[in-house]
């Protein structure tokens, strides 16, 4: 069952019922100011950091779900309704929500009155613009009123939802004309404020939440002021400050009125925090006055429909241009839709927000993840390489000089989060992969010489190349008894915690140090990760390639020897006959092996082992891929492990705490489905690769939206696996490494358009039924029009390639100096 449809021409998903199986959201903003907005206008906004600069409040585990946001209420002669249906939930005569690239349009109609609200964050602007167009489509004059509402968060979202003894007494506002200012804590230590304005006179306002709602017994679904059609002109003083404008409107039949609201954020320099004069119309309880110059300028910028139209046009232009860098035309319009629009869009969002703020990530717990952000770059780097470069330097600066790193950092402070710490065994390797991806995309070898400090030597002179070096050797220097990398607190799988042994509720599986291992430095020196071993042999060659390219042949040979040794160690100790084992636990027992009672096979090491060609000479790759098909494949994707754990295995950590079929315990973790898609494509099995791709790519699951529940235009982290009672149900949509990795899987492995150090490699591995496809790829200043022909209906194998009509040996298109070039490839 569907709840909408794709409008590819407008790059929108159009939702035609407010009652989607879960809130279906969009992200507005891609630089400083961010908003989340659901199809019923729920959501919240923040500046840069969802924890430290939260602007509006949101309650995650609210009942009913998705209560709170920025709402408009219309009171049309006693009928109270919202353009987005919620929170009053008056049945609408018409409803539509269009989520587009950086904007959302919500439209509702009731009793002949139509309200169309366009929400967007303009480029280079720290505010959300909300344009409300009210149209009287009836035959009679309409007199009605419109209330706006936004509930302020008291800045630190963590403190806001815990420290009530203080917070219920700190809220402060100023009101000037039609603008309500949120100045809580401004006088003292903050230099930032927020405001909510409308480009018209108002007939009243509210700034105190309880006054707006009427009493503490009313909710957002029945605010007393709205029902009475009478604002209370309240002035917040402590408790919960809000911003609500009240406006009376009269419209003749056919007449329209446009109101533009702006929810903005601004910062003042320390010496310009206060205004010297108090305007006569300013309402305040304070002796000091906020300097509002920045807000005035922001308000001025979008105070007419023409200016709003220009801002929207600029946003559209930005997205058209970003999406023109890579697009394809294949025999399957679902593939085109994912590759050309939604997957790339999601890659921007994951690049911006890592795993911080979604409808499943509270914005409080995790800032930017070291491993997450590095992987996000893989899917994003072609869009804006310069931003990827800046991010790489930020991330690398949280690394320690021994190659270890902070697992997370706050985007506002760019400092590693001490409470989560480090010692995640996979982290350093992702940086090799992302820096290599950046160089392959941009050809900017200069990044290797960029000065990038270590967290434990902030003033030292260090280069990015040094960071890659310590990353690589952090693995080599931390091997266990079988010569495999130590598993430490966790590897990619946050829930395999082989050094934890937690038996006390509430202990964090990732940070708790079992006394057993305290003396050894915090983790077992026995437990090893075969996954990190495979990731090492997969990423290591990129490091070797970099060294060779810059003329460090000896270092390259030394690194290559480590890779070869690791492959040997894996074959000797981690190949189980038909697949690779997952780990050795702290007792030295195999995990993810035929010998195990449960969890006999895990997905994670397999793809990277296959792509590293470990044991290829003895057929390990095909055996492994076949085992995945046999044990992990099911209707909705590949489960993470099989059989699911049914008991608590204290020596494995968090993984077995999940009911079977969910999350890391045999859920369909789409992120690592992508690694198998890549591996199948790599091994030349394009049909299998495509089968797995089409099981999880959202455009393909749209038809089962009622089962899947989450947005059909973006990936979620997890789908209930075959052992789950909610088999096929998606969770944790939006912020997942699946976005980047499935972008890599489809574009670089299946379609095979893969940037390389010395050119653009084109080596597709497609369904045999396809006649071919075309692609446009802008790469290092030139545009390549690529045509792939598949006359013999093979999966893989470039028979011939031409560049502007001239034959090219192999399948790497050399770097051209600007211009547009025709690349033709024949498979066979």
Catalytic positions are 494
Please, what is the minimum distance in Å from the beta carbon of residue 658 to ligand GLC? 7
For residue 604, state whether it binds ligand GLC (rule: CB under 6 A).
no
Near ligand GLC by CB under 6 A, which window of 169-177, 271-279, 287-295, 491-499?
Answer: 491-499
Q: Is 409 in the site for ligand GLC (CB under 6 A)?
A: no
Stretch that binds ligand GLC, among 26-34, 277-285, 345-353, 367-375 (CB under 6 A): 367-375
494 or 621: whose CB is closer to ligand GLC? 494
Q: Is 441 in the site for ligand GLC (CB under 6 A)?
A: no
Least distance CB 430 / ligand GLC (angstroms): 10
Name which position in 46, 155, 186, 492 contacts ligand GLC (CB under 6 A): 492
| Nearest distance in Å: CB 717, ligand GLC | 5
Q: Look at residue 392 and give its three-state secondary structure.
A: helix
371 is a site residue for ligand GLC (CB under 6 A): yes
Cα 10 to Cα 8: distance, rounded to the nearest angstrom: 5
Q: Does 664 bind ligand GLC (CB under 6 A)?
A: yes
Please report, in angstroms and rounded to a whole number, the separation of the first and last CA atoms in the chain.
Answer: 40
Q: Which residue shows structure tokens 């280069």?
A: 463
Q: Which residues of 47-77 are buried (b: 16+ CB within 10 A; e: fewer)?
A: bbbbbbbbbbbbeeeeeeebbbbbbbbbbbe
Q: Binding of ligand GLC at residue 663 (CB under 6 A)?
A: yes
User: Which run of H or E residues covers position 261?
Assistant: strand 256-267
Task: Identify which of residues 127 and 637 has a Cβ nearer to ligand GLC in the complex.
Answer: 637
Relative to beta strand 782-789, strand 820-827 is parallel
Residue 422 beta carbon to ligand GLC: minimum distance, rounded to whole angstroms = 14
Among 494, 555, 585, 702, binds ligand GLC (CB under 6 A): 494
Closest residue to ligand GLC in the complex (CB): 494
Main-chain dihedrals φ then ψ at residue 341, nearest 5 degrees: -125, -75
Smallest distance, Å, CB 584 to ligand GLC? 19
- Which residue among 211, 249, 437, 495 contacts ligand GLC (CB under 6 A)? 495
Among the listed residues 4, 369, 599, 755, the single contact to ligand GLC using CB under 6 A: 369
Question: Coil, strand or helix: which one is 352?
Answer: helix
- What is the Rg, in whole angstroms, of the alpha carbon atoms belonging to the chain? 28
CA distance 443 to 735: 28
Q: For ligand GLC, which stretch binds (CB under 6 A), given 170-178, 301-309, 368-376, 759-767?
A: 368-376
DSSP string across 401-423: TTS-B-SEE-TTT--B-TTT---
Sole binder of ligand GLC in the list 184, 330, 529, 717 (CB under 6 A) = 717
Binding segment for ligand GLC (CB under 6 A), chosen from 122-130, 366-374, 467-475, 584-592, is 366-374
Q: Is 382 in the site for ligand GLC (CB under 6 A)?
A: no
Nearer to ligand GLC, 110 or 663 (CB): 663
The piece of 202-210, 365-373, 468-476, 606-614 that touches ligand GLC (CB under 6 A) is 365-373
**Does residue 427 touch ligand GLC according to CB under 6 A?**
no
Alpha-carbon torsion angle 358, 359, 362, 363, nearest 10: 20
Identify which of 163, 139, 126, 146 has the alpha carbon closest to the alpha carbon of residue 46.
126
> Under rule CB under 6 A, which residues in 732-751 are in contact with ligand GLC?
736
Of 692, 705, 583, 575, nearest in space to 636 by CA: 692
Angstrom distance (rounded) from CA 200 to CA 299: 12
* Piece of 52-60, 364-372, 594-602, 777-785 that binds ligand GLC (CB under 6 A): 364-372
DSSP 733: E
* Interacting residues with ligand GLC between 59 and 118 (CB under 6 A): none
Q: Are 361 and 355 a contacting pair, CB within 8 Å?
A: yes
Residue 34 makes CB contacts below 8 A (sequence gap 6+) with 27, 28, 45, 46, 47, 48, 50, 121, 352, 353, 357
Q: Map the footprint of ligand GLC across residues 250-289, applying CB under 6 A.
A: none
Longest CA pairwise span in the chain (Å): 85
Q: Binding residues for ligand GLC, how many (CB under 6 A)?
A: 14
Using the rule CB under 6 A, is 247 a contact of ligand GLC? no
Nearer to ligand GLC by Cβ, of 371 and 600: the residue is 371
Rounded CA-CA distance 82/115 in Å is 9
To the nearest whole angstrom, how small is the minimum distance from the Cβ of residue 344 to ligand GLC? 20
Indicate the SS3 state at residue 151. Answer: strand
Residues in contact with ligand GLC, shown as a per-residue x/- string from 139 to 178 under the rule CB under 6 A: ----------------------------------------
Q: How far is the CB of 334 from ligand GLC (least distance, A)?
A: 25
Question: What is the four-CA torsion angle of 383, 389, 394, 398, rounded to 10 degrees?
Answer: 110
Q: Which of 179, 442, 510, 701 binds ligand GLC (CB under 6 A)?
A: 510
Which one of 54, 99, 247, 355 is in contact with ligand GLC (CB under 6 A)?
A: 355
Q: Does 372 bind ligand GLC (CB under 6 A)?
A: yes
Complex with ligand GLC: residue 355 or 440, whichever CB lies closer: 355
The dihedral through the CA atoms of 218, 223, 228, 230 has a sign that is: positive
Q: How far apart are CA 27 and CA 17, in angstroms?
A: 19
Q: How far apart are CA 351 and CA 349, in angstroms?
A: 5
423 is a contact residue toward ligand GLC (CB under 6 A): no
Write out the binding residues for ligand GLC, residues 625-654 only, by CB under 6 A.
654
Residues numbered 448-477 forming contacts with ligand GLC, rule: CB under 6 A: none
Contact between 493 and ligand GLC by CB under 6 A: the answer reads yes
User: To the nearest whole angstrom, how small is the minimum distance from the Cβ of residue 70 to ligand GLC?
Assistant: 28
Retrieve residue 434's tokens: 């992302």
296-333 exposure pattern, b = at least 16 Cβ within 10 A, e = fewer: eebbebbbeeebbeebbeebbeebeebbebbbbebebe
Pairing of the two strands 806-808 and 798-803: antiparallel
Cβ proximity to ligand GLC: between 209 and 366 the closer is 366
* Residue 207-226 contact track with ligand GLC, rule CB under 6 A, x = bound: --------------------
Q: Which two tokens stand for residue 96?
A: 């539509």
Positions touching ligand GLC (CB under 6 A) are 355, 369, 371-372, 492-495, 510, 654, 663-664, 717, 736
């Amino acid at each position: 069952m569907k709840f909408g449809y794709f409008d590819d021409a407008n790059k929108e998903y159009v939702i035609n019922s407010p009652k989607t199986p879960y809130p279906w959201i969009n992200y507005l903003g891609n630089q400083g100011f961010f908003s989340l907005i659901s199809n019923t206008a729920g959501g919240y906004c923040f500046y840069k950091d969802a924890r430290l600069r939260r602007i509006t409040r949101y309650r995650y585990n609210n009942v009913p779900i998705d209560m709170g946001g920025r709402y408009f209420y219309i009171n049309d002669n006693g009928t109270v309704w919202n353009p987005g249906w919620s929170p009053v939930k008056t049945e609408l005569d018409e409803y539509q929500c269009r989520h587009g690239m950086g904007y959302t349009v919500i439209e509702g109609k009731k009793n002949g009155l139509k309200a169309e609200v366009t929400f967007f964050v303009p480029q280079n602007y720290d505010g959300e613009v909300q344009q409300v167009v009210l149209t009287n489509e009836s035959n009679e004059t309409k007199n009605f009123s419109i209330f706006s509402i936004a509930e302020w968060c008291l800045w630190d979202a963590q403190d806001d939802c815990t420290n009530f003894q203080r917070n219920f007494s700190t809220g402060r506002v100023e009101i000037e004309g039609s603008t309500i200012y949120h100045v809580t804590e401004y006088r003292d230590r903050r230099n930032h404020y927020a405001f909510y304005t409308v480009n018209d006179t108002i007939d009243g306002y509210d700034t105190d939440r309880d006054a707006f709602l009427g009493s503490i017994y009313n909710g957002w679904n029945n605010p007393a002021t709205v029902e009475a059609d009478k604002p209370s002109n309240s002035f917040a003083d402590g408790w919960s400050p809000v911003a609500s404008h009240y406006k009376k409107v009269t419209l003749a039949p056919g007449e329209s009125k446009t109101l533009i609201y702006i929810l903005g954020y601004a910062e003042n320099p320390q010496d310009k925090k206060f205004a010297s004069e108090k305007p006569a119309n300013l309402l305040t309880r304070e002796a000091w006055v906020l300097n509002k110059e920045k807000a005035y300028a922001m308000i001025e910028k979008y105070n007419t429909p023409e200016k709003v139209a220009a801002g929207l046009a600029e946003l559209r232009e930005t997205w058209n241009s970003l999406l023109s860098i890579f697009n394809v035309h294949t025999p399957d319009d679902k593939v085109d839709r994912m590759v050309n629009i939604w997957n790339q869009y999601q890659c921007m969002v994951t690049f911006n927000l890592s795993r911080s703020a979604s409808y499943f990530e509270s914005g409080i717990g995790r800032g930017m993840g070291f491993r997450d952000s590095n992987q996000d770059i893989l899917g994003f780097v072609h869009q804006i390489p310069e931003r990827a470069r800046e991010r790489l330097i930020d991330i690398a600066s949280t690394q320690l000089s021994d190659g270890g790193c902070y697992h997370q950092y706050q985007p506002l402070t760019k400092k590693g989060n001490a409470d989560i710490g480090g010692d995640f065994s996979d982290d350093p390797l992702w940086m090799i992969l992302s820096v290599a991806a950046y160089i392959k995309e941009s050809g900017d070898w200069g990044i290797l010489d960029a000065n990038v400090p270590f967290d434990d030597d902030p003033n030292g002179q260090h280069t990015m190349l040094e960071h890659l070096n310590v990353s690589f050797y952090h693995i080599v220097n931390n091997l266990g008894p079988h010569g495999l990398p130590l598993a430490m607190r966790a590897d990619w799988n946050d829930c395999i915690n082989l050094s934890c042994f937690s038996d006390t509720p509430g202990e964090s599986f990732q940070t708790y140090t079992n006394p057993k291992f305290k003396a050894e430095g915090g983790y077992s020196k026995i437990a090893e990760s075969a996954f990190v071993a495979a990731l090492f042999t997969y990423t290591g060659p990129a490091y070797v390639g970099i060294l060779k390219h810059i003329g460090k042949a000896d270092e390259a040979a030394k690194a290559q020897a480590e890779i070869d040794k690791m492959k040997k160690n894996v074959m000797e100790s981690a190949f189980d006959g038909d697949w690779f084992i997952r780990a050795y636990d702290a007792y030295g027992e195999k995990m993810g092996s035929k010998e195990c009672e449960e969890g006999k096979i895990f997905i994670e090491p397999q793809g990277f082992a296959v792509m590293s060609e470990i044991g290829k000479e003895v057929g390990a790759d095909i055996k492994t891929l076949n085992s995945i098909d046999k044990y992990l494949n099911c209707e909705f994707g590949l489960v993470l492990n099989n059989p699911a754990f049914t008991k608590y295995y204290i020596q494995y950590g968090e993984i077995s705490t999940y009911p079977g079929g969910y999350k890391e315990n045999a859920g369909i973790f789409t992120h690592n489905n992508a690694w198998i898609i890549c591996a199948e494509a790599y091994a030349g099995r394009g049909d299998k690769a495509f089968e797995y791709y089409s099981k999880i790519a959202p455009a393909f699951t749209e038809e089962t939206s009622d089962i899947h529940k989450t947005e059909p235009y973006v990936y979620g982290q997890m789908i209930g696996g075959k052992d789950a009672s909610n088999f096929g149900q998606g969770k944790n949509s939006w912020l997942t490494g699946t976005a980047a990795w499935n972008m890599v899987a489809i574009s670089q492995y299946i379609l095979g358009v893969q940037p390389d150090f010395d050119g653009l490699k084109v080596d597709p591995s497609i369904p045999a039924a396809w006649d071919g496809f075309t692609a446009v790829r802008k790469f290092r200043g030139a545009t390549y029009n690529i045509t792939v022909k598949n006359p013999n209906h093979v999966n893989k194998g470039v028979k011939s390639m031409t560049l502007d009509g001239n034959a090219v040996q192999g399948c790497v298109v050399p770097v051209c100096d600007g211009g547009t070039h025709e690349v033709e490839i024949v498979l066979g």
